[in-house]
């Protein structure tokens, strides 16, 4: 850089620029030139224009300060005449002290206190699955699912509790998204429709049928605090529109797809939203924030969630905007958290979440009351299972009254029909009892776990698939007497042993199991002979698993290793015949023979219209028997299960997990 360019860079071209460089007004700069020798130059030629150099002013300022310091060491001089300015050093020191006092005062005044949640109380006690809680006015709105038919209703509940008022909506899957400030109208999303993926409905809280909210389709939507705007998302696009959804414009292209939670800040300047961040859709939820004017997006808590099992869900700002309250799963612990708002002056740049409450089974949808004195959230109850029996007369599944008190499945009845062995849920332990549920006693103890019990034809032994968590889940066939004694693992084959099936009192067959799915294509079906203690591979069964023997023992129903086809294997001829093929996802996990061995039942659980089918062996005909639509079945442990009662009625295990709405006092100390 040349000297000329350097001087131009340091040159101040007017009294205004000189004054700004000194952090003073123009009048003071002019006075300092006359009284203190401030180095100011004038443009030649009689012009009134002036200029100065920053380096000269810096040198002048240093000299003034040094002179002031030297003067302080000399005897005190008389006070300056009335109207003269104090020395610059003293002035700057005073200003610094005043500024420090102002900053400290601001920190003490603006730093919000730590919040607490106190005195939890349940507002609902219906045992239903309650979800997606929002507030409008002094009313709470939420989705409630009836476990009998999985039908959803929109419920309205007063903030102080009472009986809910149900509004039935025209869909199995609905979710309330937002409500007006007075609670008179509610935006509701339908999960599926022939029109679009997420059609939005408007519900009038006072009553009347719901109606479509224009032609809007969105995964999330919420009105601004002044209710003049509507923000909504579709996929990765965030839009702003008029309050009625018209005149939309794209505000931002988000880095990831959005979920169904969207909230405005109290001042209407920011929008917080949950994004499906990560390699697996719906697997990693993270909070993001978008500015409402420019659409700039950033994570709310960068680095706080470290692993995929950590989840961040939406929440709500407090009424004064000091805190944002949200639910999350952090380090494996579900809970309610709060962060201090980081948009105001003198607050921390990186807010640290404050844990307010934990819920072992899960908590969601944190929202505050209209006056800010209470916090509401949905708290999950422990998960369980309910046995359902198919009633041909009604064409529907209903509760199996004989085993109503048990959370269990995989029932195996003794040959005389007096006892039943079963697997409990969610902990996979084996028990045995009388058929009426009395005289219960365990078959597995300690860390031993088990599934798929099967009685021997003579009724003296029970074989099942067993494993220990300490052995990384390696499955072995275990045989035990009905009284729990004489337990042994007779099969010495070294691989993962699948669910056993008796073909006689002296033989078991089993397929191969494994730690991952799909099972390797090298899998096959094996037979174990109790007399010789030997295990042999059945010829022609390569690529088959999940072996189920018919009562007569000749045929074996099995599935291909990709779980897409059901195969009939003839032990006499080693011939295989395809009985059924799924075009929509995998088949179920437990093909079940009828008691007479003439038919086999198979479910197609992942189809658009899931159902159980019956295949007649004689002519290979396939008949649809029962619909599974709307039933949340248990999939944990050994997968989806179907079975039969002694009188031939279909049984399935449904997962149930009620959730109730709780209220806490919100206290800041």
End-to-end CA distance of the chain: 59
Q: How far apart are CA 226 and CA 268, in angstroms?
A: 8
Enter the tokens of residue 435: 């058929």
Is the CA virtual torsion 63, 68, 69, 73 positive or negative? positive
Q: How far apart are CA 526 and CA 511, in angstroms?
A: 6
Three-state secondary structure readout of 60-81 = HHHHHHHHHHHHHHCCCCCCCC
pLDDT recorded at residue 260: 77
Q: Which residues of 370-394 are buried (b: 16+ CB within 10 A; e: fewer)?
A: beeebbbbbbbeebbbbbbbbeeee
Contacts of residue 589, defined as CB under 8 A and 6 or more positions apart, other chains included, come to 546, 563, 638, 639, 640, 641
Predicted structure pTM score: 0.58
* 627, 565, 515, 388 alpha-carbon torsion, rounded to 10°: 20
Residue showing tokens 């199995």: 172
Nearest in space to 411 (alpha carbons), one of 652, 628, 602, 237 = 652
Q: How far apart are CA 125 and CA 301, in angstroms?
A: 35
Contacts of residue 96, defined as CB under 8 A and 6 or more positions apart, other chains included, come to none
Alpha carbon of 633 to those of 503, 571, 656: distances in Å?
29, 33, 9
pLDDT recorded at residue 101: 60
Q: How far apart are CA 448 and CA 430, in angstroms?
A: 9
pLDDT recorded at residue 411: 94
Alpha carbon of 530 to those of 376, 463, 509: distances in Å?
61, 12, 11
pLDDT recorded at residue 603: 94
pLDDT recorded at residue 659: 87
3-state secondary structure of 108: helix
pLDDT recorded at residue 652: 94
Taking CA 89 as the corner, what is the angle to CA 87 and CA 94, rounded to the nearest 5 degrees?
Answer: 100
Return the domain boundaries, the chain. Answer: 3-68, 406-489
Q: How far apart are CA 388 and CA 408, in angstroms?
A: 11
Enter the tokens of residue 389: 């029996």
> Which residues in the chain land under pLDDT 50?
1-7, 65-86, 107-109, 280-282, 345-349
Name the packing angle between helices 54-73 and 15-22 (round to 10°): 50
Q: What is the pLDDT of residues 507-517, one digit of tens each?
A: 999 998 877 76
3-state secondary structure of 620: coil
Q: What is the pLDDT of residues 239-289, one digit of tens each?
A: 999 999 999 999 999 998 887 789 999 999 999 999 987 654 446 889 999
Q: How far apart are CA 529 and CA 547, in angstroms?
A: 16
E runs forming strands in 426-574: 430-434, 441-442, 448-455, 462-468, 476-480, 497-504, 507-512, 525-529, 535-537, 544-549, 555-560, 565-570
Backbone angles phi, psi at 203, to 5 degrees: -115, 130
Structurally, what CATH architecture does the domain formed by 3-68 represent?
A: Orthogonal Bundle (1.10)
Q: How far apart are CA 146 and CA 150, in angstroms?
A: 5
Q: Are 420 and 433 in contact (CB under 8 A)?
A: yes
- How are beta strands 354-358 and 333-340 bridged, if at all? antiparallel
Q: Which residues of 461-471 are buried (b: 16+ CB within 10 A; e: fewer)?
A: bbbbbbbeeee
């Amino acid at each position: 850089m040349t000297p000329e360019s350097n001087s131009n860079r340091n040159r101040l071209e007017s009294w205004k620029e000189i004054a700004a460089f000194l952090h003073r007004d123009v009048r003071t700069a002019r006075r300092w030139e006359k009284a203190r020798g401030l180095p100011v130059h004038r443009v030649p030629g009689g012009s009134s224009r002036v200029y100065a150099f920053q380096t000269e002013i810096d040198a002048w300022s240093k000299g003034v300060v040094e002179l002031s310091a030297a003067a302080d060491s000399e005897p005190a001089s008389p006070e300056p005449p009335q109207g003269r300015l104090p020395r610059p050093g003293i002035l700057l020191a005073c200003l610094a002290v005043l500024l420090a006092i102002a900053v400290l005062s601001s920190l003490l005044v603006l730093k919000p206190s730590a919040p607490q949640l106190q005195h939890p109380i349940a507002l609902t006690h219906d045992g239903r699955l309650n979800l997606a809680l929002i507030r409008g006015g002094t009313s709470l709105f939420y989705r409630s699912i009836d476990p009998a038919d999985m039908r959803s209703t929109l419920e309205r509940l007063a903030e102080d509790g009472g009986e809910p008022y149900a509004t039935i909506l025209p869909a199995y899957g609905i979710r309330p998204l937002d409500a007006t400030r007075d609670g008179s109208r509610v935006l509701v999303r339908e999960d599926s429709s022939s029109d679009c993926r997420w059609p939005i409905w408007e519900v009038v809280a006072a009553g009347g049928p719901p109606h479509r909210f224009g032609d809007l389709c969105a995964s999330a939507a919420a009105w601004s605090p002044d209710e003049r705007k509507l923000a909504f998302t579709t996929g990765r696009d965030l839009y702003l529109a008029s309050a009625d959804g018209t005149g939309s414009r794209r505000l931002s292209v988000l880095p990831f797809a959005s979920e169904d939670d969207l909230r405005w800040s109290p001042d209407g300047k920011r929008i917080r939203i949950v994004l499906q961040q990560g390699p697996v859709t719906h697997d990693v939820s993270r909070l993001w924030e978008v500015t409402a004017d420019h659409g700039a997006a950033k994570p709310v808590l960068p680095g706080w969630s470290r692993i995929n099992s950590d989840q961040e869900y939406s929440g709500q700002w407090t009424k004064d905007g000091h805190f944002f309250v949200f639910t999350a799963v952090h380090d494996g612990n579900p809970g309610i958290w709060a962060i201090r708002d980081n948009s105001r002056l003198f607050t921390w740049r990186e807010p640290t979440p404050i844990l307010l409450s934990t819920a072992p089974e899960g908590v969601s949808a944190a929202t505050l009351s209209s006056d800010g004195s209470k916090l509401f959230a949905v708290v999950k109850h422990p998960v369980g299972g309910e046995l359902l029996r198919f009633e041909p007369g009604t064409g529907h599944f209903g509760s199996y009254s004989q085993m109503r008190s048990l959370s269990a499945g995989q029932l195996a009845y003794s040959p005389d029909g007096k006892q039943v062995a079963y697997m409990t849920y969610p902990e996979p332990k084996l028990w045995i009892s009388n058929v009426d549920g009395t005289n219960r006693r365990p078959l597995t103890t300690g860390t031993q776990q088990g599934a798929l019990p099967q009685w021997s034809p003579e009724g003296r032994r029970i074989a099942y698939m067993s494993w220990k968590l300490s052995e990384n889940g390696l499955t072995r066939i275990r045989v035990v007497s009905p009284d729990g004694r004489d337990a042994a693992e007779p099969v010495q084959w070294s691989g993962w042993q699948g669910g056993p099936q008796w073909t006689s009192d002296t033989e078991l067959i089993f397929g191969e199991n494994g730690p991952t799915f799909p099972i390797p294509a090298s899998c096959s079906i094996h037979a174990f002979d109790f007399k010789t203690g030997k295990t042999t591979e059945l010829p022609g069964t390569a690529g088959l698993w999940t072996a189920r023997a018919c009562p007569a023992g000749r045929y074996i129903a099995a599935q291909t290793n990709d779980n897409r086809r059901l195969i009939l294997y003839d032990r006499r001829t080693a011939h295989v015949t395809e009985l059924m093929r799924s075009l929509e996802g995998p088949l179920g996990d437990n093909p079940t023979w009828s008691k007479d061995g003439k038919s086999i039942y198979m479910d197609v659980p992942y189809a658009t219209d899931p159902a159980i089918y019956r295949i007649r062996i004689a002519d290979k005909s396939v008949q649809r028997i029962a619909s599974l639509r709307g039933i949340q079945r248990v999939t944990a442990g050994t997968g989806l299960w179907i079975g039969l009662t002694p009188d031939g009625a279909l049984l399935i295990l449904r997962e149930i997990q009620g959730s109730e709405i709780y209220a806490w006092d919100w206290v800041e100390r």
